[in-house]
Amino acid sequence: MMKDVQSEKDQRRVALKYVGVDEIRWPLQLRDKQRGVQHTVAKVRLAVDLPQDTRGTHMSRFVECLQELEYLELGQEERVLDLLKEHLQAESAMMRLEFPYFLQKAAPVSGKVAPMDIDCVFTAEKRDKFSLKVRADIPIQTLCPCSKEISERGAHNQRAVARMEVLAGEMVWLEELAEMADRAASSPVYSLLKRPDEKFVTEHAYDNPRFVEDAVRELALMLDRDRRIKAYRVRVESIESIHNHNAFAVVERDWQ
Amino acid sequence: MMKDVQSEKDQRRVALKYVGVDEIRWPLQLRDKQRGVQHTVAKVRLAVDLPQDTRGTHMSRFVECLQELEYLELGQEERVLDLLKEHLQAESAMMRLEFPYFLQKAAPVSGKVAPMDIDCVFTAEKRDKFSLKVRADIPIQTLCPCSKEISERGAHNQRAVARMEVLAGEMVWLEELAEMADRAASSPVYSLLKRPDEKFVTEHAYDNPRFVEDAVRELALMLDRDRRIKAYRVRVESIESIHNHNAFAVVERDWQ
Amino acid sequence: MMKDVQSEKDQRRVALKYVGVDEIRWPLQLRDKQRGVQHTVAKVRLAVDLPQDTRGTHMSRFVECLQELEYLELGQEERVLDLLKEHLQAESAMMRLEFPYFLQKAAPVSGKVAPMDIDCVFTAEKRDKFSLKVRADIPIQTLCPCSKEISERGAHNQRAVARMEVLAGEMVWLEELAEMADRAASSPVYSLLKRPDEKFVTEHAYDNPRFVEDAVRELALMLDRDRRIKAYRVRVESIESIHNHNAFAVVERDWQ
Amino acid sequence: MMKDVQSEKDQRRVALKYVGVDEIRWPLQLRDKQRGVQHTVAKVRLAVDLPQDTRGTHMSRFVECLQELEYLELGQEERVLDLLKEHLQAESAMMRLEFPYFLQKAAPVSGKVAPMDIDCVFTAEKRDKFSLKVRADIPIQTLCPCSKEISERGAHNQRAVARMEVLAGEMVWLEELAEMADRAASSPVYSLLKRPDEKFVTEHAYDNPRFVEDAVRELALMLDRDRRIKAYRVRVESIESIHNHNAFAVVERDWQ
């Protein structure tokens, strides 16, 4: 029989916070507010803690836990963590899923619908209590209030990313976070715009100039009003159209 | 004495186009049109061909060739290729250098100067004849002519990248390529703009709307007029401020 | 009625090779040799040519063409190109899809099956004739023949990537390309290995030392024997475990 | 005179943690333990806090602060933060520098010296007290103890990255962090190895098998013994040569 090197006693008396696998990709299925089921692909990190007297973890069991589920699905985070704790005989477990998610977005005038991708990260941890942090990167448009004010015509604008990170007591849809970001922006962005839509978006952005500072403050106010949100961190970063660098602002409440 | 496995005879009768090292970073020094010497860091690829009857190349010699130079310097490309051919007993050699380069750019009204980075790639090859391809990614601003025309106020604009690839018969400064891209744009971009500059840039872009199609055509005309340029490929890609995807256009002449 | 700026006459007499959209992500469905249907997410580039007398293309139509299909599916490439040519009134069209694909791979001793991801790029073009280039990045293991030969024990080995690009006259499954890469390697790599598998893989790699030069030559021989393959380019790059840089080799036949 | 929109009163009563610029590249000069001065290029983030009653910050002043220094230099972090606080009238300031750094590393047998790059991040913050966190990504080799134990010959090994993050009370050289990582590894990695070196490295790694768990524990012990280190986080991640995913372990002390 083969020796189990990982199970050797370790004398160094150093407990490890995390041991596990990273950068593993796996098909992911999730519920979609608008259409039922959505298929995507996640980059996955799985880890457990390691007590000070054990030399190593059994890395193959992480992948076996993924295999045991018929498919990886959002909403099952706690079940995965319980599986990891059980199969790896650990006190605590964590899972991080990074994946693109598609919103179905309707253009503002023509109403034409097309999918638009956002980048999401779900980070779940469980020792005794289960916690889930959700991060969504929502692309938006910002139009500079200063540029508009001081110029006789036009105003510089650009794509920006609203990175919303929340710890919630109850289910919050990704669509809800995206709608907040859209309201905080000079304008939402879309995958499909016909000319009447482009006219609307251009004028709407011009009529709603927003610094990154404005956008994060609007988001803070919205998140403060939402009883489900226990803690948050919001970062808006503009891909400045007049510079080769970005502008950003961050606001957070009870975030760690 | 240790066996030289690489020098074994190979019976498979397959000659290789390239064998070498990649993703090696090395300090790089180069001449700067405005200030003399500039220090940067390059990601380097070095390769030679391998005849069908030899099993392998000697990878450590590539790094020894880099070491033999006091420092890696732009303008020495042919000397490096000759060193590689000699030390690795090869018929042909190639070197690819990818590095950030700093232009010194003055703001249009205040005249304040600050460095702005561009990404560059130099690809040199030599069998009998030496050739050098230069690629520079110049950040610019594009303002949409359609959005301006159809909207009562404002116009969407965004950062774009003009990727210019040229094969030249004589020395072409990176600063010259950057100036062409700036002229083809709705506006150049800068690292440091005070309010009078921002007003100028905003209005200048509004007065010079350019599709990506316009920008590549302007660049084609400029490159066609430059006798030093033997072949080119130009690609302008706009980070659309109204979409979460980009628009691009490509034009090329005698490019391969 | 709104003015159609894009349809203006252009006087610059510069025809464009490509105009279109890039970095757009879209759900992708494809046939899977082992299990029927597989869902993934693609980064998409779509373009057409633009004649010298037209100012611009209609960017929104690219997205409308994607929307017109019920879903984006591999095998439909020519149909998408025909749609693009028709809707954008173009002479030629191209589509590039970049996506992760999952192989179902069984461990060599335990037989345990788990998905392993490979990165793929499909590039389709059509003017009069349709062509499709397939690129697959297959992770493999390489064990250094020189290190094994000169050392009394052990041999350095590492993960490597076999980038296979082929132009085929008939359908070639991604699974077939992956199997070729596995045969050219010191050992295949897997997502799930139990201890007897790990023993097998370790000894198998030690018994089959391969330089990157060996691996590309083995692949060239296999592709030369396959009548479906009209042209190819193969590049194997080892993430050297004894260096902070990589070693690579390239072989190609009739590739452009 | 132009209106100063940024200085408007803000009624939303939301103070911001950070506002500033990001992704700006700038030449960086630093002291090198072995050779005096080293030139590199940094990606820079600069930020200050923003009180609840001010609408926006003045983004151009961040770049002016960079310009005011003759050049950006390691060791000047606190001076830059003081400049930012003064010019932007802020209570707190932060700077993040991300850059490649070159160690001069001698091969173990031949003694041949060549530069090897490591990725570094310096994060400095100051409200009342100045703090500096240093992160260095040191490439190392790990050889699997389990694979060695269960196999009759060979053992899988791979490049790994030791990410060391420390908060120090006194100066710690990057070279010192790199030496710790090398001692915790199965073997250091090098840019230039001749055959006797390769033999040495291969056998040395085979004689010193290390899980990622072993490597982080060795590093924890070294950092615990170093009186200058007040807090740390260490993460070792192996680019597994038998998988297409990575293994990792994390240990930290007083880190936040």
Quick one: three-class SS letters along C132-158?
EEEEEEEEEEEECHHHHHHCCCCCCEE
Q: What chain C residue is nearest to B255 in terms of C-alpha separation?
A: C17
Q: Pick from C19, C149, C213: which is nearest to B249 by CB?
A: C19
C-contacting residues in B 172-211 (Cβ below 8 Å): 211
Whether the pLDDT of residue C216 is over 80: the answer is yes
Coil, helix or strand for A60? Answer: helix
Q: Is D227 helix (H, G, I), strand (E, B) or coil?
A: coil
Residue of A nearest to D19 (CA): A249
Task: With beta carbons under 8 A apart, name residues in chain D contacting A218.
Answer: 12
Angle between helices D174-184 and D212-225 (to 10 degrees): 130
Residue from the list B14, B21, B22 with its beta carbon closest to the beta carbon of C220: B14
Average pLDDT over every residue of D232-255: 98
| Residue A253: CB atoms within 10 Å | 16
What average pLDDT does this structure show over A71-78? 84
Q: What is the pLDDT of residue C1?
A: 72
Predicted confidence (pLDDT) at residue C177 exceeds the cutoff of 80: yes
Distance, CA of C255 to chain centre: 15
From C198, C210, A56, C109, select the one nearest D151 (Cα to Cα). C198
Q: How many CB atoms lie within 10 A of CB C130?
A: 13
Residues 3-32 (D) with a CB less than 8 A from some CB of A: 3, 5-6, 10, 12, 14-25
Q: Which of B146, B219, D212, B96 is nearest to A21 (CA)?
A: D212
The H or E element containing residue A13 is none
CA distances to B108, C113, C241, D32, D130 from D79, in Å: 30, 58, 40, 20, 10
* Residues from chain B contacting residue A141 (CB–CB below 8 Å): 156, 241-242
CB A17 within 8 A of CB D165: no
User: What residue of B is the nearest CA neighbor of D6?
Assistant: B195
Check whether D32 has a pLDDT greater than 80. Answer: no
Q: Distance (Å, rounded) from C-alpha D163 to C-alpha D177?
A: 10
d(CA C7, CA A242): 28
From C155, C163, C160, C140, select the one nearest C232 (Cα to Cα). C163
Q: What is the mean pLDDT of residues A86-100?
A: 97
* Chains contacting D (3 or more CB pairs within 8 Å): A, B, C
Taking every pair of Cα atoms in chain A, the longest distance, rounded to a whole number of angstroms, is 82
Q: What is the mean pLDDT of residues A220-228?
A: 97
Q: Percentage of chain D with pLDDT > 70?
A: 100
Residues A194-221 pLDDT 10s: 999 999 999 999 999 999 999 999 999 9
Listed by number, the residues of chain D in 122-161 with a beta carbon closer than 8 Å to a beta carbon of chain B are none
Question: For chain B, which chains pass the contact test of at least 3 CB pairs under 8 Å?
Answer: A, C, D
Is the CB of A149 less than 8 angstroms away from the CB of D5? yes
- D90 pLDDT band, cuts 50/70/90, is very high
Q: Which residues of A touch C114 (CB under 8 A)?
A: 63, 66-67
CA distance D147 to chain B (A): 26
Mean pLDDT of C183-208: 98
3 state DSSP class of B198: helix
Backbone angles phi, psi at B90, to 5 degrees: -115, 160
Looking at residues A22-45, what average pLDDT do you find? 90
Structure tokens at C55: 């100012």
Q: Are D148 and D125 in contact (CB under 8 A)?
A: no
Name beta bridge partners: D131. D125
What is the rounded CA–CA span in Å between residue C225 and residue C176? 13
Beta strands at C157-168 and C229-238: parallel, antiparallel or unpaired? antiparallel
Element (H, E) at A179: helix A174-184
Predicted confidence at residue C75, as pLDDT, reads 83
Taking only the tens place, the pLDDT of each residue in D172-206 is 999 999 999 999 999 999 999 999 999 999 999 99
Across all residues in chain A, what is the average pLDDT? Answer: 95
Residue among B150, B207, B241 whose CB faces A157 most closely: B241
Please give the single-letter amino acid code of residue B10.
D
A contacts of C60 (beta carbons < 8 Å): 192-194
Cβ(D91)–Cβ(D53) under 8 Å? no
**Cβ contact B16–C216 (<8 Å):** yes
Q: What is the pLDDT of residue B32?
A: 77
- Residue A70's pLDDT is 67
Q: How would you class A154 by CB atoms within 10 Å of its CB: exposed for 0-12, middle for 13-18, buried for 19 or more? A: buried
- Tally of helices (H runs) and strands (E runs) in chain A: 6, 10
Pick C150's closest partner by Cβ from D195, D242, D243. Answer: D195
Q: What is the DSSP string of B123-187?
A: EEEESSSEEEEEEEEEEEEEE-HHHHHH-SS---EEEEEEEEEEEESS---HHHHHHHHHHHSSE
- Closest CB to C243 among D146, D190, D239: D190
Q: Which residues of B touch D38 (CB under 8 A)?
A: 27
Cβ-defined contact of B26 to D2 (cutoff 8 Å): no
The subunits that touch chain A, with at least 3 C-beta pairs less than 8 Å apart, are B, C, D
Q: State which residue of chain B sits closest to A206, comparing Cα positions.
A: B154
D126: amino acid identity, one letter: K
**Does the structure show a pLDDT above 80 at D71?**
no
What whole-number distance in Å separates Cα of residue A27 and Cα of residue C236? Answer: 27
The pLDDT assigned to D172 comes to 92
> Quick one: tokens of B24?
């090696």
DSSP conformation letters of C191-227: S---HHHHHHHHHHHHHS---HHHHHHHHHHHHHH-T
Residue A65: exposure state from Cβ atoms within 10 A (0-12, 13-18, ≥19): buried
Residue B29 to residue B42: CA distance in whole angstroms: 9
Residues from chain D that touch B195, judged by Cβ atoms under 8 A, are: 2
Q: Measure CA B45 to chain center.
A: 14
The interface pTM score, or ipTM, of the predicted complex is: 0.95
Look at residue D34 in the predicted model and tell me its pLDDT: 74
Nearest-angstrom CA–CA distance, C32 and C21: 28
Say whether B202 and A154 touch across the interface (CB within 8 A): yes
**Residues in a beta bridge with A127:** none
Residue A106 CB neighbours (<10 A): 13
Phi, psi of A244 (to 5 degrees): -100, 20
Contact between C143 and D154 (Cβ < 8 Å): yes
Most A CBs within 10 Å, among B101, B189, B191, B241, to test the A interface:
B241
Cα distances from D74 to residues B26, B157, D71, in angstroms, run: 20, 37, 10
D245 and A21: CB-CB below 8 Å?
yes
Cα D22–Cα B159–Cα D124 angle in degrees, nearest 5: 5
Angle, helices B212-225/B174-184, rounded to nearest 10 degrees: 130
* Residue ranges for chain B with pLDDT beneath 50: none
Mean pLDDT of D161-168: 97
Q: Is the pLDDT of residue D1 over 80?
A: no
Residues in C touching B251 (Cβ below 8 Å): 14-17
Flag if D213 and A56 touch (Cβ within 8 Å): yes
Residue B125: C-alpha distances to residues B17, C233, C255 (Å)? 12, 19, 18
Considering only CB atoms, which chain D residues are within 8 Å of B115? Answer: 26-27
The answer to whether the Cβ–Cβ distance between A156 and B205 falls below 8 Å is yes
The strand pairing partners of C2, in sequence order, are none
Question: A242 CB near a chain D CB, below 8 Å?
Answer: no
Give CA–CA dist C184/D142, Å, rounded. Answer: 25
DSSP string, D5-42: GGGSB--S---EEEEEEEEEEEEEEEEETTTEEEEEEE
Decide if D244 touches C, using CB distance below 8 A: yes
CB A126 within 8 A of CB A78: yes
Q: Distance between alpha carbon D84 and the CA centroid of its chain, in Å? A: 23
**Paired strand residues for C36:** C32
Angle (nearest 5°) at CA D20 between D16 and D25? 155
pLDDT for the residue B2:
85
pLDDT at A35 over 80: no
Structure tokens at D37: 């001065």
User: Interface partners of C (3+ CB pairs, < 8 Å)?
Assistant: A, B, D
Backbone φ and ψ of D6, nearest 5° = -60, -30
Closest CA to B160 of B92, B95, B239: B239
DSSP lists the bridge partners of residue B35 as none
For B19-45, the pLDDT digits (tens) are 999 999 999 998 877 778 899 999 999
pTM for the whole structure: 0.96
- Please report the pLDDT score of residue C243 as a whole number: 98
Closest listed residue to residue B138, CA positions, set B182, B72, B191, B197? B182
What's the rounded Cα separation, in Å, for the pair D122 and B58?
37
Bridge-partner residues for A218, per DSSP? none
Q: Would you place residue D70 in the very low, low, confident or very high pLDDT band (cuts 50, 70, 90)?
A: low
Q: What digits encode the pLDDT tens for the residues C9-68?
A: 999 999 999 999 999 999 999 887 777 889 999 999 999 999 999 999 999 999 999 998
